[in-house]
């Protein structure tokens, strides 16, 4: 006769055995099911999105008709490898707004070798030629003759006074390079005109004409979209150096230059107006001229790029205002453009025709810190 204890032990043994059998069966079933599902996923039909949109829904692209007449011109982009996403943003807008129709080439410049990924991704954005150049160290580095003790003290003082980029040597290298060396780069020697494009800028309007041909046919040498006052703390001795140069080289200044744009008293003082050089369409032969070459070399010898923080914007603007005739400087009113925090948004019919997508009410042209009204008074 089975005792109660033996009965309990027998029931427990049967339950444990059943649990073990079921566990093994469930595990094997799970494995089979998992493998079966994986096999079906790999070998079975793909989700619809994997096949893409059928060709029947696409409108055929019109073949690009490259204009028969073009200027000897290129885009110039001074960038670092880390600027890749932001320069691609700018470049995509340039292509969509203008260059798909005109197919001008690109020249990228860097003080470090470009990576293969950078070259690959920017080249995919255009059908136009793209070249990549390495800047020689002597065109980028702080010159050996600069008194580093004096330069360090100047940077420390600017940091204390919260001057933007006041403590940066690379920024100073860039300003000096853009002022006097970019147009000397080997890849640019074959070109006359350039359009400077920077990372993460916006182009608001379709450009259906060729700005380079306008520059060429109308003998313009410098084009801009935004003008404003320079930060005085960055250029305390710049105008003094400019006046010294003018005194030594008065014959280099044409009588009908744009001096009134940069000085309200005939050259006695500088009003700090300059063209914002992050956008410029200009003639490199003007920078290569005797007048500007002497001018840059004279300024460079003063060391102000490092003892202060002279920018390429005032240096280019002073050069254009002094050595070009005033009617050779062009305001590209119809090119909508933004470089933080300012923007030029064209006014009038371009919006009616759907050519621009900026807010006409958000426009820097005649804000209190703009110098466009001074440019207007030249004519």
Please give the order of strands across the beta sheet that includes 342-344: 202-203, 337-339, 342-344
Which positions ≥6 away from 126 have C-beta within 8 Å? 91, 95, 99, 106
Q: How far apart are CA 148 and CA 153, in angstroms?
A: 8
The structure tokens 């010294």 sit at: 244
DSSP letter assigned to residue 103: -
DSSP letter assigned to residue 257: B
The structure tokens 């380079």 sit at: 212
The structure tokens 């032990």 sit at: 9
**Tally of CB atoms within 10 A around 230:** 20
Whether 183 contacts 80, CB under 8 Å: no
Active site (annotated) includes residue 280: yes
**Residue of 280, 308, 340, 367 with catalytic role:** 280
27-47: string of b/e by CB count within 10 Å (b at 16+)?
Answer: eeeeeeeeeeeeeeeeeeeee
For residue 137, what is the enclosing H or E element? helix 137-140
* C-alpha R_g of the chain: 32
- Each as own residue / partner, the long-range contacts of residues 183-187 (CB below 8 Å, 24 or more positions apart, any chain) are 183/284, 183/287, 183/288, 184/139, 184/288, 185/107, 185/109, 185/133, 185/135, 185/139, 186/133, 187/107, 187/109, 187/131, 187/133
**Tally of CB atoms within 10 A around 273:** 25
Q: How far apart are CA 111 and CA 281, in angstroms?
A: 23
Whether 221 contacts 183, CB under 8 Å: no
Q: Which residues are catalytic?
A: 280
């Amino acid at each position: 006769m089975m005792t109660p204890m033996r009965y309990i032990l027998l029931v427990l043994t049967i339950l444990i055995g059943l649990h073990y059998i079921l566990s093994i069966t469930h595990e094997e079933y799970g494995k089979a099911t998992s493998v079966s599902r994986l096999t079906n996923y790999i070998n079975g039909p793909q989700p619809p999105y994997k096949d893409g949109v059928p060709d029947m829904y696409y409108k055929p692209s019109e073949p690009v008709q490259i204009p028969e007449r073009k200027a000897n011109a290129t885009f110039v982009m001074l960038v670092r490898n880390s600027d890749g996403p932001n320069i691609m943003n700018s470049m995509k807008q340039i292509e969509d707004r203008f260059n798909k129709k005109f197919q001008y080439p690109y020249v990228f410049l860097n003080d470090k070798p470009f990576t293969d990924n950078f070259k690959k991704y920017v080249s995919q954005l255009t059908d136009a030629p793209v070249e990549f150049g390495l800047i020689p160290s002597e065109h980028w580095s702080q010159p050996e003759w600069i008194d580093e003790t004096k330069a360090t003290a100047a940077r420390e003082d600017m940091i204390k006074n919260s001057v933007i980029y006041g403590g940066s040597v690379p920024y100073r290298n860039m300003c000096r390079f853009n002022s006097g060396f970019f147009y000397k780069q080997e890849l640019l020697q074959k070109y006359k005109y350039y359009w400077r494009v920077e990372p993460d800028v916006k182009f608001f309007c379709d450009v259906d004409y060729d700005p380079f041909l306008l520059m060429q046919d109308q003998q313009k040498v410098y084009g801009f979209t935004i003008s404003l006052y320079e930060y005085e703390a960055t250029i305390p001795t710049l105008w003094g150096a400019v006046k010294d140069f003018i005194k030594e080289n008065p014959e280099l200044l044409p009588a009908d230059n744009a001096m009134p744009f940069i000085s309200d008293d005939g050259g006695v003082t500088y009003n700090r107006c300059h063209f914002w050089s992050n956008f410029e369409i200009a003639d490199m032969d003007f920078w290569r001229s005797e007048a500007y070459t002497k001018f840059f070399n004279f300024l460079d010898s003063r060391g102000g790029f490092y003892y202060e923080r002279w920018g390429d914007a005032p240096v280019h603007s002073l050069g254009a205002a002094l050595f070009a005739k005033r009617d050779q400087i062009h305001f590209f009113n119809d090119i909508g453009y933004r470089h933080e925090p300012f923007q030029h948004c064209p006014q009038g019919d371009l919006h009616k025709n759907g050519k621009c997508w900026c807010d006409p009410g958000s426009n820097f042209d005649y804000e209190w810190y703009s110098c466009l009204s001074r440019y207007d008074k030249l004519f």
